[in-house]
Amino acid sequence: MIKQGMALASAFGLAACASVPASDIASGSAFAPDCPAVATFLDSAVTQGRTVGASALIWKDGRELCFERAGLASREDDRAFERDTLVQIFSMTKPVTGIALMQLWEQGRFGLDDPLYWHLPEYRNLKVATGIGSDGEPVLRDPSRPPTIRDVLRHTAGFTYGGSQEPADVVWERLQPLSADNTLAEFSQKMAQVPLLADPGTRWVYSASVDVQARLVEVLSGMAFDDYVAAHIFTPLGMTDSAWKRDSGDLDRLARIYVADENGALSPMPREAWLNANFAGKPMTMGGAGIVTTVDDYMRFARMLLNEGELDGRRILKPETIRLMSTDMLDPRIPAENRMWLPTKGTGGFGLDFFVRTAPPQSPEENRGTVGEFFWDGLPSMLFWVDPAQDMAVVFATQKVPFDNALHHDFRDAVYGADYSGMPPE
């Protein structure tokens, strides 16, 4: 596999580098990312067979600092991973949905601590599943309190994503709320029949709560969710390459997703599932996944966050709303064992649709980052983050599953340096 990756690198060249020399970085900047190190990392990831292709875009101190790329968007088509390559970002869709919902919060359409059922009545009679009865159905009880919209925004409502061994998932598997054949309205009606995993506020559970957020956007705005996002986020930000539903002509720009087997060998994921969801007129538009975009488009979204809600004279959210979303809101009484895999993201907690770093990296094994950064990632090893203390936003694009946190660790090492302290500059 390494030899194969080296041959690919030879055929398509090493990572293209468009870097700003260190001498050109504004004086007084506390930190300068090492663009050649980023290029070297991308090259090595491809030549070692860790991924087929990737790119990275770094914006710092008000300008693009570097863009690097390596490898292939489609090995089968001999097509390089270019700047305009379209990528499926999966859960990096979630922050976009959160921004959409918080626009409506700024308009006074709801309160963060409103019970969810005030706005989506189907959630009025939620139950908590405590076990499986002799009939094979979940044993239910009333929750200690109803979930609030704040719970829905920070994954503490008690919802599930399915696929676990927990009692509630018996109902999830039967109803399949996130089937591509459901509308968001139908999803919500089915989701409301799935029992909660736990009392609201007691566990951080990654879940379909962001799809509930998308349904809230529809109900509160009176618009289809994707139409709302296009009108109020994509268009004002100039994100012309971003959408859920794509034209079949975009296949020539779409990167393939590659699946690593138990030995690390990468094989292309069959495209049929994606084609059915995106080209066959399926009704589902998920709040938690589905956007197809480019590194440049998503960087415009990240720059808006870095600029506290504004980009190129277009205000998307107020500064104080961005600060609220990027503040850890998890109750300290929720122990690490009740936070699923969230602690693997770093030392921190969760705001509203963002991981939030609250302390420097505690060991060399922890991903590098700065206190106060906020970010999220996506299933095919996609990643972006916003580092306000360093006035920096970063987008890393690749299309590899299963999710590869080791790639993110080594990429962050390339950006920050392996010994970066993580403390904001004084």
pLDDT at residue 275 tops 80: no
Q: What is the pLDDT at residue 396?
A: 98
Higher pLDDT pick, 396 / 276:
396
Q: How many domains does the chain have?
A: 1
The Cα 413–Cα 417 span in angstroms is: 5
Q: What is the pLDDT at residue 276?
A: 55
The Cα 15–Cα 38 span in angstroms is: 9
Mean pLDDT across the stretch 306-316?
Answer: 98
Give the pLDDT band of residue 8 (cuts 50, 70, 90).
very low
pLDDT at residue 212 tops 90: yes
The Cα 200–Cα 349 span in angstroms is: 17
Domain-located, residue 198: yes
Mean pLDDT across the stretch 82-107?
Answer: 97
pLDDT at residue 348 tops 90: yes
The Cα 371–Cα 304 span in angstroms is: 19
Domain-located, residue 156: yes
The pLDDT tens digits of the residues spanning 11-20 come to 333 333 333 3
Mean pLDDT across the stretch 42-57?
Answer: 98
The Cα 141–Cα 4 span in angstroms is: 56
Overall residue count recorded for the chain in this entry: 426
Q: What is the pLDDT at residue 277?
A: 55
- Taking only Cα atoms into account, the Rg of the chain, rounded to an integer number of angstroms, comes to 21
Mean pLDDT across the stretch 62-80?
Answer: 97
Q: What is the pLDDT at residue 10?
A: 34
- Whole domain around residue 113: which residue ranges? 109-221
**Mean pLDDT for the chain?**
91
Instruction: Classify the C-alpha dihedral 103-106-111-113 as positive or negative.
Output: positive
Mean pLDDT across the stretch 52-68?
Answer: 97
Residue with token string 């601590």: 113
pTM value > 0.85: yes
Mean pLDDT across the stretch 88-95?
Answer: 97
Q: 40: number of CA atoms within 13 Å, CB side?
A: 10
Q: What is the pLDDT at residue 234?
A: 98
Give the pLDDT band of residue 292 (cuts 50, 70, 90).
very high
pLDDT at residue 251 tops 90: no
E runs forming strands in 207-354: 258-260, 266-268, 292-293, 310-311, 314-315, 348-350
Share of the chain above pLDDT 70, in %: 91
Token output for 308: 């506290």
Mean pLDDT across the stretch 258-281?
Answer: 78
Which residues, 6 or more positions from 356, have their beta carbon under 8 angstroms from its beta carbon?
Answer: 326, 327, 328, 348, 349, 350, 372, 373, 374
Domain-located, residue 165: yes
Give the pLDDT band of residue 270 (cuts 50, 70, 90).
confident
Give the pLDDT band of residue 246 (cuts 50, 70, 90).
confident
pLDDT at residue 32 tops 70: yes
Q: What is the pLDDT at residue 6?
A: 34
Q: What is the pLDDT at residue 24?
A: 34
- Strands of the sheet with 400-401, listed across from one edge: 266-268, 258-260, 400-401
Q: 210: number of CA atoms within 13 Å, CB side?
A: 25
The pLDDT tens digits of the residues spanning 108-163 come to 999 999 999 999 999 999 999 999 999 999 999 999 999 999 999 999 999 999 99
Mean pLDDT across the stretch 266-295?
Answer: 81
382 DSSP 8-state letter = E
